Structure 1
Amino acid sequence: MNLTAKQAIFSANIYTLKVEYSDSTAIGLIKQGSQKAFERLFKDHFKSLHAYAYTFLKDDEMAEEIVQNVFCRIWEKRDQLKTDGSIKAYLYRSVHNESLNYLKHQKVRANFGVYYADEMEQVGNDDSASKKLLTAELQKHIEKALSELPEQCRIIFQLSRFEQLKYQQIADHMGLSIKTIENQMGKALRVMRQKLAEFLPIILLLFINWFV
């Protein structure tokens, strides 16, 4: 191969490396299963998305995990990928939502932890053997059931049962009508009863006002 031919191939490779996909092209390639297009998207945006997630989480490792989760979900559901605009905006919106969901989940865990600790202290002072059946497994199931509630239901349930707010206080806090609060609580209670049916007798003993 002569020098001119080698130079032509080298130039072509450089061009290939530098070429930038349009959003629609990148999305199309990823939907078709192009790992190269996906890796390019990841490398182009990971650093800035990581910095963006960090502004919410203040935790370097968790920010990295959040961004990785977003990209993993994109790849796993690539055939359903719809950005409704620029792919950059879509990525930032996804990281934003993922970060807020994580923080909300942590808040639920923290609030439940305080409530759980208070109840366990009472259990420790109680001679009833049935109350001592509350274990880490029950806590895990309660947290899972809470996380599966629709966001509004979860917040209303948490304010009512964990923070002991009355319906009117919750309505004022959330800018909703009392009727909406009642309907959402009814929905939350139905779901929680269904998800925690196996543990319902224990929960009724320990958290007597949860399902009434």
Structure 2
Amino acid sequence: MENQDGLPVERVDEHTFEAVFKDHFKSLHTYANVILKDSDEAEEIVQTVFLKLWEKRGMIKINTSLKAYLYKSVYYDSLNHIKHQKVKMKHREQKQYETTQNGSVEAVDVMEGQDEELNSRFQQALRLLPEKCRTVFHLSRFEELKYQEIAQKMGISIKTVEAHMGKALKTLRLELAEFLPLILMLIIEH
């Protein structure tokens, strides 16, 4: 690989590489952000492209300009990131579908069975809720419906939906208070 001056990149020192990084980072970040619509992810993609460029500087052959190579790399890495996100989303949707097909409500699905007692207590706390309250909670948290959609589906007012959610959250908070540190720890791990 050669830089714009025709020197092999393996001979490029850190100072020159840093200058290239500073010259191109902002425009590459903007480009990736247009594709991903997420500034943090775009920054991550661009940094990774530069990291790979530095690590493989002695092995890469660039047939175009360095600028064109960087843009092409950011483009393909951004598309790969989008594909990966879609695969993760499909997996999540499949898991949710399987959960609803089994008829069980598992809000602590994130933990994937790491704590059976917590899951059991969560199910028990849900059973303490009145039926309409439990239904509103399920529609909101598991089917991810908005309050307006829940109100329409159940034939109740938005205020009633809000009241049911408030009651459900209060009950769950009281019933699961002792598990809060565990829940936070497991969520942070994932």
TM-score (norm 1): 0.46
Cα deviations by residue, 1:117-148 (Å, 9 ceiling, x for unpaired): 111233454xxxxxxxx9379xxxxxxxxxxx
- 1:1-43 Cα shifts (integer Å, max 9, x gaps): xxxxxxxxxxxxxxxxxxxx73522xx1x31351112111101
- CA offsets per residue over residues 105-124 of structure 1, 9 Å max, x none? 00111111101111123345
1:39 matched to 2:21? The reply is no
| Amino acid across the alignment from 2:6 | S
Q: Which of 22, 39, 54 is 2:4 aligned to?
A: 22
Partners of 1:107 and 1:46 in 2: CA distance: 26
Which amino acid in the other structure matches residue 98 of structure 1?
D
TM-score (norm 2): 0.51
Structure 2 residue identity aligned to 1:103? I
The superposition leaves residues 167-197 of structure 1 with CA deviations (integer Å, 9 ceiling, x where unpaired) of xxxxxxxxxxxxxxxxxxxxxxxxxxxxxxx
* Aligned equivalent of 1:110: 89
1:68 aligns with 2:50: no
The alignment status of 1:82 with 2:94, answered yes or no, reads no
Deviations 1:65-96 (A, max 9, x none): 11001001111111112111111100000000
* 1:45–1:123 distance in 2 versus 1, CA, 3 Å: same
Q: CA RMSD in A?
A: 2.5
Q: 1:59 aligns with which of 22, 27, 38?
A: 38
Q: Which runs of 5+ in 2 are unaligned?
A: 105-110, 115-190
State how many pairs are aligned: 108
Structure 2 counterpart of 1:96: 75
Gaps of 5+ in 1: 1-20, 126-133, 138-212
| Aligned sequence identity (%) | 46
